[in-house]
Structure 1
Amino acid sequence: MNSRVVSLNFGTLLRIAAWLCLAGIAFATLSPIGLRPTTGLSPSIERFVAFAVVGALFGAAYPRYILFAAMIVLGAAVLFELLQVLEPSRHGRLFDASVKLAGGTIGLAAGSIAGRLFRSD
């Protein structure tokens, strides 16, 4: 019984982490360029890794609902790029969206596999 409680709590923590990570990406993507955090890596690597992480979190948090997770992660990648057009200091580009989509897809696959492997039924 305790393992079920721990599993449930871990799943809840994964879902919270996934949504918080997505919110952080939304802030970094949609805020004015001066507020954008940087790591010193190329922006393409930052985009790819950010969406790979959020994809992995959503894939692991929702392994039984991978289509839902994919709609959230990949939809956010496209939506965030489109919304950048509204911020004067930012620009939405097809290349940037494709990097985010690639990272999100790889993250979703890895997270889904991990979520299925470690899920306790």
Structure 2
Amino acid sequence: MTKLSRIAALTLLAIIVFATLSPIQMRPHFAEANVERALAYILLGFALGLGFPNRLYHVVIFVIVTAGMLELLQIVDPGRHAELADAVVKACAGIVGILVGQLFARGSRRLGER
């Protein structure tokens, strides 16, 4: 489960990087922008929480830094805009995903102990 979660996290990270830094017309679109941002980072956080169950602080820092850096990198593209509010939505959603993933991982371990 851990290895699969790590592969999922890496795949989700690649998709997020593409969607964040590609030209706006190439970005996948299926809902309102904040919903898309939040869902992407919740899924990334969940995969990281499952994939690194003993590294809570490391994955929280990783998600926060990733959200901030990817948002800042949008300054390079004239068709995109970097906004603090977007980075905050991404980071908070990622943290929620991490916490849910951590709870899920701990619950699975407890069930396995029985």
1:62 is aligned to 2:49: no
> What is the CA RMSD across the aligned residues, in angstroms?
1.3
Q: What is the TM-score with the length of structure 1 in the denominator?
A: 0.86
Q: How does 1:21-100 map to 2 (within 5 A)?
A: 21-39=12-30, 41-100=31-90
Query: Counterpart in 2 of 1:7?
Result: none
Give the Cα–Cα distance (whole angstroms) in 2 for the partners of residues 31 and 96 of structure 1.
Answer: 16
Amino acid in the other structure paired with 2:97: G
Query: Following superposition, which runs of at least 4 residues in structure 1 exceed 2 angstroms of deviation?
Result: none
Query: Which stretches in structure 2 are left out of the alignment for 5+ residues?
Result: none
Amino acid in the other structure paired with 2:16: I
Give the Cα–Cα distance (whole angstroms) in 2 for the partners of residues 58 and 12 of structure 1.
Answer: 11
Q: What is the TM-score with the length of structure 2 in the denominator?
A: 0.91
Farther-moved stretch of structure 1 (70-79 vs 28-37): 70-79
Query: Counterpart in 2 of 1:117?
Result: 107
User: What count of residue pairs does the alignment treat as equivalent?
Assistant: 111
Give the Cα–Cα distance (whole angstroms) in 1 for the partners of residues 2 and 52 of structure 2.
Answer: 8
Amino acid in the other structure paired with 1:104: G
Give the Cα–Cα distance (whole angstroms) in 2 for the partners of residues 89 and 116 of structure 1.
Answer: 43
State the percentage of identical aligned residues: 38
Query: Which stretches in structure 1 are left out of the alignment for 5+ residues?
Result: 1-9
| Structure 1 residue 112: Cα displacement | 1.0
- 1:80-118 CA-to-partner distances (Å, cap 9, x unmatched) read 101100111111101111111121111111011111222
Amino acid in the other structure paired with 2:27: R
Any idea what SS the aligned residue of 1:37 has? coil
